[in-house]
Structure 1
Amino acid sequence: MPVSYSKDLRERVIRAWKAKEGSQRQLAQRFKVSLSFVRNLLSQYRTNGQIEAKRRGGYQKPTIQNEHLGFIQSLVEEKNDLLLRELCDRYAERTGISVSISTMHRAVEKLGLRVKKKSLCQRARYPKSTRIKT
């Protein structure tokens, strides 16, 4: 995975640009970086005065907030044989937020609880004797 250029290099590029030691293209060649890096760095510097690298990667806020975990725990304790799909449906009814089964599974795991994964009708369709063994 690529790494951001050091703060020292960024400072040297900015100092050279301020001292008018060459064009953006010449600065890129001098410091052995791409022209787009120099352009973006100068643009960022002019806009907000910062030269630090931007934060890499994104942070996605969890769909199920911590304050809703208590509600999920009460649903499971109330009726512990709920399927994950049923738990998702009840969560959506109460909060108005629709979540996937895998999201609900992660929330249940975070709470250290266990729920059913398959309904009886799903198990009846595939009895153990007819399952393919690997």
Structure 2
Amino acid sequence: MPVPYSMDLRWRIVQACARGTQSQREVAEYFQVSLATVENILRLYRRAGDVSPRKPDHPGPPARLDDKARAQLRRFLEKQPDMTLAELRQQLVRDNGPLVSTSRICRVLQEMGLRRKKRQYMPANGTPRGYVRSGGGITRK
């Protein structure tokens, strides 16, 4: 997410435009910002009398995995460290936790710095693999 311009810079842009000795384009070039930035700051100043950056209209949905759910995940992995993401998800739902995707659980575990089992157990294939030693090395049958 981009960082808003400093309040000092915003007020200097307003003052430079208020003097009327330079065009908005020249002010933008002088302060090395875009013309749209100068226009937006001046619009904010005219409407609100202030140049503070606007707060986002919608900050996004609240986190579904709160501290309680994160603590549950940590306990599950301490008790059984080889649980897969799907098993963690099922256990979380069983313990009245939120219903979230396995990819979300994966991201949360990464944020928490926890390791996890990467794959589900796969039984050995019924077809035996044979290898033959030849003069040049080992080859597959």
TM-score, normalised relative to structure 1: 0.56
In the TM superposition, residue 10 of structure 1 has moved relative to its aligned partner by 2.6
**Counterpart of 1:66?**
67
**Counterpart of 2:102?**
100
Q: 8 Å contact 2:64–2:98 — kept in the other structure? A: no
**Counterpart of 2:43?**
43
C-alpha RMSD of the superposition: 4.0
Aligned length: 118
Looking at structure 1, the residues matched to 28 and 61 of structure 2 have their Cα atoms a distance apart, in angstroms, of 35
In the TM superposition, residue 39 of structure 1 has moved relative to its aligned partner by 1.2
**Structure ranking higher in helix proportion:** 1
Structure 1 unmatched runs, 5+: none
**Counterpart of 1:15?**
15
Deviations 1:55-110 (A, max 9, x none): 9xx99975532222221133334544422211123324522331334x42354452
Looking at structure 2, the residues matched to 124 and 48 of structure 1 have their Cα atoms a distance apart, in angstroms, of 69
Q: 8 Å contact 2:11–2:51 — kept in the other structure? A: yes
* Structure with the larger RCO, 1 or 2 (CA within 8 Å, 6+ apart): 1
TM-score, normalised relative to structure 2: 0.54
Q: State the identity as a percent.
A: 24
Aligned AA (1:95): G
Say which SS state the counterpart of residue 124 (structure 1) adopts: coil
Q: 8 Å contact 1:84–1:104 — kept in the other structure? A: yes
Looking at structure 2, the residues matched to 89 and 44 of structure 1 have their Cα atoms a distance apart, in angstroms, of 49
> Quick check: 1:88 aligned with 2:85?
no
**Structure ranking higher in strand proportion:** 2
Say which SS state the counterpart of residue 116 (structure 1) adopts: coil
Aligned AA (2:119): K
Looking at structure 2, the residues matched to 89 and 111 of structure 1 have their Cα atoms a distance apart, in angstroms, of 21
In the TM superposition, residue 48 of structure 1 has moved relative to its aligned partner by 3.8
